Amino acid sequence: MNYIEKIHNKDYQKKKKDYSFFENEKRFEILEDLILHQHPERVLDIGCGSGYLAFLLKQKNPHVFIHGFDLSSEGLKMAEHIDKKYKLDINYQNIPENDNFYDIVVCSEVLEHLINVRHCLTEINRILKKEGELIVTVPNFSFWRFRVDSLRGRIPYIVSDERHLQTFNKKTLTKILNEGGFRVLRLLGSRVRLKSLLRISASLFSETLIIIATKNKP
């Protein structure tokens, strides 16, 4: 067991030992709406943890088939709402599913934890259907408060968090998605005090970026 895996296991043994930890995270409500709106048959939740997203989806649509994998064995022990779950390190391991298999792939708060983001995106591109959608969420390095923290000599938490190995903003996330064979359809934001500010700039006023993308046509 490597050090990063131990950190995530510790999280699920203590902070994330039940779903109450996630209940106030706005991104899950947004993800739920985005996914159910597409009426998918098969969904893959990358970094599924204890399966909170699957729990929400199954409440509204018990027939949706959800796969999920995570690095944390402790999180997976609690993921009872996922139809098929397995432990996998997406930094270097391949997803054990056929090409063009999933209607929707969710990769929420995962990319910033990876060493090999490009391998993850290559695998997503392979197993996502041609008309399927990839939904990605990441902490937004360009969030106004993080900029102010930096100017005041403070290190934003998204940099100081030892689990975070990458940082993203709209430009860098779009670039790496394009390089991975994806086309961005929509940019949304989450964790915004005043929603009206999103109409000005989600990139500036949102603490979390949400991107919906699809595969580039060959």
For the domain 3-215, what is the CATH code? Answer: 3.40.50.150
Domain range annotation of the chain: 3-215
At residue 217, the pLDDT reads 78
pLDDT in tens, 2-35: 888 898 999 999 999 999 999 888 899 999 999 9
At residue 190, the pLDDT reads 80
Amino acid found at 75 = G
pLDDT in tens, 138-197: 999 999 889 999 889 999 888 888 889 999 999 999 999 999 999 999 999 886 555 666
DSSP 4-61: HHHHHHHHHHTTTSSGGGTTT-HHHHHHHHHHHHT--SEEEEET-TT-HHHHHHHHH-
Residues 193-211, mean pLDDT to the nearest whole number: 76
The vertex-76 CA angle with 111 and 68, nearest 5°, equals: 55
